[in-house]
Amino acid sequence: MTRFTSVKMLVAGLVSVVACAGTASAQNFIRGSGNGVGNTIVSQNRGGYGGKNVIQNSGNGIGNTIVAQNRGGYHSVGYPQQFGGQNVIQNSGNGIGNTIIAQNRGGYGFGGFPSGGGLNLVTNSGNGIGNTIVAQNGPGSFPGGGVFPGGVNVNVIANSGNGIGNTISTQNGRPGGLNINVVANSGNGSGNVIHTGNR
């Protein structure tokens, strides 16, 4: 299922953009929304496999919150190398005091396949002052099987979190998986913190 959400925020802080889907291979697209002051964007997929959230050009301004979350997710039989959940956030959350959270939770193995991994891709986002970017895969996966029972989990942060006092946190919390964090062209400036962790 694919759903597109586009809401132009003319009055700041009064409207939240919420996209939720609960079927297999669900996708949410949010573009050009929630810009301004004090807006909240929540994009969530529950259960199924291959859930994907795409948020572009949104949540820019001051004190906005962007949450992209996939709950559940597993390898389908015909596509054993698919990610269990994907979050793509581009050109969003720039400004002052914005928060971006991209999270893939859950995920379990199917037969001999590893559990569904997760991919978080954040580009050109969270630049400015005092912004927070959190990209997280897990916890909550079931062991699964295969070579990497915890799945393949990847966080990529590029051209983001530059400025002053920004925080970038990437974490893979799936034991037994192939866990990768990539931070490129990010966290440059003054007083920024980049934390990458695998557990």
Partner 1 sequence: MFTRMIWTPLAAVLVLGGLAAATSAQTPGLPAAPPTPQVISWPGGSMVLNGSEVIMRTKSPGGSTNLITNSGNGFGNRLVISGGPGVTVVQNARNGIGNRLVLDPDELLIDLDQIVPGMKLGQRSPPLPGLPVVDGKRDVVASYKGKENKFWTKREYHDSYDCNLYWDPSTKQWFRYYLDDDIFRPVATQPPAPPVEK
Residues in contact with partner 1 by CB under 8 A are 81, 86, 119, 121, 123, 147-150, 152, 154, 156, 158-159, 171-172, 175-199
- Other C-beta atoms closer than 10 Å to the C-beta of 194 total 17
* Shortest Å distance, C-beta 108 to partner 1: 16
Query: Of the two residues 64 and 170, which places its CB atom closer to partner 1 in the complex?
Result: 170
Our CB check for partner 1 shows the closer of 61 and 114 to be 114
Burial of 77 (0-12, 13-18, 19+ CB in 10 A): exposed
Dist CA 71 CA 196 (whole Å): 22
8 A C-beta contact, residue 34 and residue 40? yes
CA distance 184 to 104: 21
> Would you say 49 and 82 are in contact if contact means Cβ atoms under 8 Å apart?
yes
Is the CB of 42 or the CB of 135 nearer to partner 1? Answer: 135
Closer Cβ to partner 1, 97 or 150, answer by number? 150
- C-beta closer to partner 1: residue 84 or 150: 150
What backbone phi and psi angles, to 5 degrees, belong to 148?
Answer: -115, 90
CB of 10 to partner 1, least distance (A): 30
Nearer to partner 1, 66 or 156 (CB): 156
> Least distance in Å: CB of 76 to partner 1?
13
Give min distance, CB of 38 to partner 1, in A.
28
> What is the 3-class SS of 20-84, one letter each residue?
EECCCCCEEEEECCCCEECCEEEEEEECCCCEEEEEECCCCEECCEEEEEEECCECECCECCCCC
Nearest distance, CB of residue 60 and partner 1, angstroms: 20
DSSP H or E stretch at residue 11: none
Least distance from partner 1 to the Cβ atom of residue 136, Å? 12
